[in-house]
Amino acid sequence: MERFAVGITRQAGAILLEQFQKPLTIEYKSEDGTNPVTDADKRSEEFLKEAILKENPGHGILAEEGSQVDSSASEYMWVIDPLDGTVNFINGLPIFGVSVGVLRRGEPVVGCVFIPSPRRSDGSVYHARRGGGAFRDQEAIRVTQDSRPQRGRISVFPAAFAGRFRLNKGLRGGVGELRSPGSVAYELALTAGGVIQYAIFGSPWVWDVAAGITLVTEAQGGVLLRRQGGDAWETFAGFTDSQGKGLNAEGLKEWRPSWIFGGAEMTRFVTSRLRPRSRLRLTLQRWAARRL
């Protein structure tokens, strides 16, 4: 299954590279002219869907641009982002990816992410399977092994978190060199490879992170989440309901906690030094923002 996923992820990446920096047909999924989708997104998703169902008839599929096969008879669900980083892609910025993750009864077991790469003209595929380690093409990779953020090392830390959390001693002024590349899949691949020391995300969609979870954990990293309305960070244990059953496609669409990925010690260190601001303060901040 991992070998098959690597193959189709690379082929989907080739579709994107073929259309990169060429004229695109662009539509918008929201009325305010944000959240774009291109013909490249659609071509990549249609290819992936057809290839998966041909090789694995009966498996479930959930993809960002609408492809959905919710097979209750199968224990496998393929979760796909055919082009993560569409805004970058449209603007000619080569920071984007294809994300293909496989869940078995709600637990991530295979993850593949294609990204453009200076190493190869046809890009690189970061891939992993449960218990098999993580790789960039054929080279084994691992997350950074530092136990706390290092100055001069890259971190992904959303600006929105500064308004929602206080940084306690040990983090204040020491979160690392902050970047926001604009593609969750791309960032998770680089986190698995040790380029990014840790990455925090506010509320990404499941297709943004499904592949990256396997990549980071198999690269000897840690994955923590913080549920909406909760205060505690917990170790990710699977996309399951209260009875431990794997979620169907509709349930997966609703799964949008905050996440942190990186070395196991690093993620614990960072989250232990984030303190949520009071709900009253957050309410006042939102009210003030609307008045401006």
The answer to whether position 24 is within a domain reads yes
CA angle 12, 199, 289 (to 5 degrees): 105
CA 56 to chain centre: 24
Q: Which of 114, 140, 166 is the last residue of a domain?
A: 140
For residues 115 and 213, state if they share a domain: no
Q: Mean pLDDT in the chain?
A: 89
Q: Which of 107, 140, 173 is the last residue of a domain?
A: 140
**Phi, psi (degrees; rounded to nearest 5) at 277:** -75, 160
CA angle 162, 221, 233 (to 5 degrees): 45
For residues 175 and 79, state if they share a domain: no
The CATH number of whichever domain residue 72 belongs to comes to: 3.30.540.10
For residues 42 and 134, state if they share a domain: yes
The answer to whether position 125 is within a domain reads yes
The answer to whether position 201 is within a domain reads yes
The answer to whether position 145 is within a domain reads no
The answer to whether position 287 is within a domain reads no
Compute the distance between CA of residue 136 and CA of residue 128 in angstroms, rounded to an integer: 9
How many separate domains does the chain show?
A: 2
For residues 87 and 172, state if they share a domain: no
Tens digits of residue pLDDT in 1-50: 999 999 999 999 999 999 998 888 888 876 666 778 889 999 999 999 99
Structure tokens that stand for 251 in this block: 């349930």
Domain carrying residue 201: 154-280
**Phi, psi (degrees; rounded to nearest 5) at 284:** -65, -35
For residues 30 and 104, state if they share a domain: yes
User: Do 78 and 50 meet the contact criterion of CB atoms below 8 Å apart?
Assistant: no
Q: Which of 105, 140, 175 is the last residue of a domain?
A: 140
Compute the distance between CA of residue 157 and CA of residue 176 in angstroms, rounded to an integer: 9
- Partners of residue 275 on adjacent β-strands: 166
What confidence score (pLDDT) does residue 278 get?
62
User: Quick check: helix, strand or coil at residue 241?
Assistant: coil
The CATH number of whichever domain residue 234 belongs to comes to: 3.40.190.80
The answer to whether position 289 is within a domain reads no
For residues 32 and 129, state if they share a domain: yes
For residues 268 and 174, state if they share a domain: yes
The answer to whether position 288 is within a domain reads no
pTM of the prediction?
Answer: 0.91
Compute the distance between CA of residue 284 and CA of residue 51 in angstroms, rounded to an integer: 50
For residues 111 and 168, state if they share a domain: no
Question: Where does residue 291 rank: exposed (0-12), middle (13-18), buried (19+ CB within 10 A)?
Answer: exposed
Beta strands, E only, the chain: 26-28, 36-38, 60-63, 68-69, 76-84, 97-104, 107-117, 120-129, 134-136, 139-140, 154-156, 165-167, 177-179, 196-201, 221-226, 234-235, 258-263, 274-276
Question: Where does residue 61 rank: exposed (0-12), middle (13-18), buried (19+ CB within 10 A)?
Answer: buried
Minimal CA–CA distance to 132: which of 3, 234, 289, 228?
Answer: 3
Residues of the chain with pLDDT under 50: 280, 282, 286
The answer to whether position 291 is within a domain reads no
